Amino acid sequence: MLSRTKNLYIEIAVALNKFPKSAKYILGYRIEQSLLDFLEILYVAQYQKIDEKLKSLYLLQIKLDTISFLMTLSWEAKHLPHSAYARYVEQSTEIGRRIGGWRKGLETKLEPKTPHNMQGE
């Protein structure tokens, strides 16, 4: 997932360079900073203990939603071409699914063992 997210960052960075000057240094900067924050949290989450990792995964979902909001705003303001926006939506949706799956897998590991969910063991 880190590789996919790095590729997304590179694609978006190229698109942000084409923003008009008035949007590049405000909206473009916010998007880029949010993406870099996202990458940093994702990188660190790989090395965290389960309880801390879960907190990071929730934060990643919030960050991804924020980036999506800013990208939609950029597209609606016509700073971002439709093709770039469509690629972002496709890739961010996949990244969001993977984060959700990672989180659910960790939550399953943390579930207390009860007679009901121990039947298969």
Query: How far apart (Å, rounded) are the C-alpha atoms in residues 16 and 27?
Result: 9
Q: Which two tokens stand for residue 12?
A: 């978006």
The answer to whether residue 119 sits within a structural domain is no
Closest-CA residue to 42 (of 63, 28, 27): 63
The answer to whether residue 19 sits within a structural domain is yes
CB half-sphere exposure, 39, CA atoms < 13 A? 15
Instruction: Kindly list the distances between the CA atom of residue 50 and the CA atoms of 6, 15, 79, 103, in Å, as whole numbers in the listed order.
Output: 23, 35, 40, 10
Q: Which domain holds residue 60?
A: 2-108
117 versus 18: the higher-pLDDT residue is 18
The answer to whether residue 117 sits within a structural domain is no
Average pLDDT over residues 5-15: 91
Q: Are 95 and 1 in contact (CB under 8 A)?
A: yes
The answer to whether residue 113 sits within a structural domain is no
The answer to whether residue 90 sits within a structural domain is yes
The answer to whether residue 52 sits within a structural domain is yes
pLDDT of 2? 87
Sign of the Cα torsion 81, 99, 37, 9 reads negative
The answer to whether residue 75 sits within a structural domain is yes
pLDDT of 114? 60
pLDDT tens digits, 54-109: 999 999 999 999 999 999 999 999 999 999 999 999 999 999 999 999 999 998 88
Average pLDDT over residues 16-31: 92
The answer to whether residue 118 sits within a structural domain is no
Q: What is the CATH number of the domain that holds 60?
A: 1.20.1440.60
Query: How far apart (Å, rounded) are the C-alpha atoms in residues 28 and 112?
Result: 45
Average predicted confidence (pLDDT) for the chain: 90
pLDDT higher than 60, residue 118: no
Query: Domain count of the chain?
Result: 1
Q: At what angle do helices 82-110 and 2-17 cross, to 10 degrees?
A: 150
pLDDT confidence of 113, banded at 50, 70, 90?
low
